Amino acid sequence: MGSFPPFGFAGTREETDLLRPKLCAPWKSMHMLVFVKWSCFKKFPARSIAINGRHLGIVTEALGQNLLKSIISSPKGLPLSQVRSISKQVLQGLEALHSYGIMHTDIKPENVLLELSERDIREMMKKYGVTDKAAESAVLGTEAFGDAPQQIGVKIADFSNAFELSKPCEGKIQTRQYRALEVIIGAKYGPPADMWSVACMIFELATGEYLFNPEKGPGYPMEDHHLALIAQTLGSIRPEIYKQGTYWQEFFEKGTSRLKFVNLEPSKTIVEHFPASWKYKESRPLANFLKKMLVYNTNERATARDALEDRWLKED
């Protein structure tokens, strides 16, 4: 579930405690991973736990591959109709998650899984030799899925780094390419950081490329290049924004919007990042949609509910 040894047991237990009251049957239409049950495998015979020792097992609905594999198989991006459908479902999931006072903190293609049809699941059970009738009934009897969906269906998964908003938020979160500005500069963060990640992911689904892919260079840190890429695309990061962070003096020249080590000409808008073959009517609405989730001021950044009302999601 995304935890790393030696903290795997504790991390998985925390994830379970966080989600157990929430990721249950009513969430099946919220595009969130459906939580079935958990069990600590200490009641099983010794031979059952000899390899990995005692551990916590989490049972969820059966789901397919993650979206990263879909991107790899479609290096120039997915059809925009699919991107639109996926975007809407992920935003619906985040709206539900945020309404429960939980922040995901690691939205990215790897953590969004495809739904499976009943036929897919039967084939998977056959592949892995699951012939037990009780097991088949348990899997196919869940309401997490039914007949083959008419269009692509997805669920947000991997809540190993999620946390309740009622608790202090500390430290770095998010995978680098999807990391929000406020996290990079060490400012206070919350659900708006998830929205930044969603925008980066949607761009990647549509183009097959990262929106921001920083690299470490001679004499400058990767974070500085990341900030430079952001400023190049979205505009200068003004002092009233970056001074909210505890690390700003490491990156910015005092009183200016200039970075200490890397400065790129602000010459590449989001539209200019899209393939040259795209028509204006395809690129402009999507760019406007993404920009609302990439606003520097977190109080002005679109929420999941706001984004769901955007015209781009309502296009046919």
CA 178 to the chain's CA centroid: 8
- Of 56-60, 99-103, 181-185, 260-264, where does mean pLDDT reach its minimum? 56-60
CA distance linking residue 175 with residue 108, whole number of Å: 8
Structure tokens at 137: 């009934």
Q: What CATH number has the domain bearing residue 304? A: 1.10.510.10
Catalytic residues: 106
pLDDT digits (tens, 9 = 90+) for 66-101: 999 989 989 999 999 999 999 999 999 999 999 999
Q: In the predicted model, is pLDDT for residue 133 greater than 60?
A: no
pLDDT of res. 4:
33
Query: Has residue 3 been placed in a domain?
Result: no
Query: Has residue 200 been placed in a domain?
Result: yes
Report, as an integer, the average pLDDT of 183-190.
97
Q: Between 270 and 29, whose confidence is greater? A: 270
Report, as an integer, the average pLDDT of 234-258.
94
Query: Has residue 124 been placed in a domain?
Result: yes
How high is the mean pLDDT of the chain?
A: 82
CA distance linking residue 269 with residue 45, whole number of Å: 60
Query: Has residue 2 been placed in a domain?
Result: no
Burial class (CB within 10 angstroms; exposed 0-12, middle 13-18, buried 19+) of 224 = buried
Structure tokens at 190: 């919350």
Query: Has residue 38 been placed in a domain?
Result: yes
Q: How many structural domains compose the chain?
A: 1
Highest mean pLDDT among 125-129, 254-258, 290-294: 290-294
pLDDT of res. 137:
52
Split at pLDDT 50, 70, 90, the class of 291 is very high
pLDDT digits (tens, 9 = 90+) for 199-244: 999 999 999 999 999 998 888 889 999 999 999 999 999 999 999 9
pLDDT of res. 9:
40
pLDDT of res. 127:
80
pLDDT of res. 68:
93
Whose CA is closest to 83, among 272, 296, 274?
274
Query: Has residue 153 been placed in a domain?
Result: yes
Query: Has residue 1 been placed in a domain?
Result: no
Query: Has residue 249 been placed in a domain?
Result: yes
- For 271, the domain range is 8-314
Structure tokens at 281: 């009517």
